[in-house]
Amino acid sequence: MGGRRGAARNPGLEQPRTAAAPTGQQRQPFFIHLNMSKFESSIKQIPYPQQAVYAMLSDLENIEKVRDRLPQDKLKDLRFDRDTIAISAPPVGEVRLRIVEREEPKCIKFETEQSPVPFNLWIQVLPVTETSSKMKLTIKAELNPLIKGMVQKPLTEGIERIADALAAIKYE
């Protein structure tokens, strides 16, 4: 059989890793457990109607209108089209997201196409009044505890900065 060793014994499961054992003892397999982790921005108040905010954010080509507000020292080689955005974010490398679902006028769901850590991103926009709305960003990723410990602070800070930048856009 040309497949992975042990695939028939554990169909659909990640293959066990083998822990190093002291000399003379048998190595014991262990599994890397992934847990769903969720990171949320604070709720941002936006002085523009829900439909205007959704219309701008659901078409990524509108980024051109706000490119000058993005931190150029943090984001390099920004590329985008209607459904995809890619950035080089040192030291992480290239991150590419694609819109996979639009629920007009309240939610835009993204999925990573390329990233050191695969994740989903939701932008939720809800009405407050006829002329204002509120927005929250959510990232969900399956992370093992070690990786979560390393990325929790940067992801939490990053999602908050993105939410602040999106809240500062003039949605006219």
pLDDT tens per residue, range 36-59: 899 999 999 999 999 999 999 999
- Burial of 123 per CB tally in 10 Å (0-12, 13-18, 19+): buried
pLDDT tens per residue, range 16-34: 444 454 555 666 555 567 7
Between 68 and 48, whose confidence is greater? 48
Strands (E), the chain: 17-18, 29-30, 35-40, 44-46, 76-80, 84-89, 93-103, 107-114, 120-127, 133-143
Q: What is the pTM of this model?
A: 0.75
Residues in the chain: 172
